[in-house]
Amino acid sequence: MMPTADSGAAASGRSLELARVLLVESDVASRLTLQTLLEACGYSVEVAASAAEAVGKLDDGIYELVLAETEMGSPEAGRGVLAYARRKEYKPATAMIRKQRDGSIREDRKKSGRRMLVETEDVTTFLGQVAELISLRATRRSERALRLTASN
pLDDT in tens, the chain (152 residues): 334 444 444 444 455 567 999 999 998 998 999 999 999 989 999 999 999 999 999 999 999 999 998 777 776 888 999 999 999 998 899 998 876 545 444 444 444 444 456 656 678 888 888 888 888 888 888 888 888 888 87
Contact present, 20 and 39 (Cβ < 8 Å): no
Task: Report the predicted TM-score, pTM, of the whole model to 2 decimal places.
Answer: 0.73
Domains of the chain with CATH codes: 16-151 (3.40.50.2300)
Alpha helix segments (H runs only) across 16-121: 28-40, 51-60, 75-86, 104-112
Pairing mode, if any, of strands 93-98 and 65-69? parallel
Burial class of residue 80 (count of CB atoms within 10 Å of its CB; 0-12, 13-18, 19+): middle
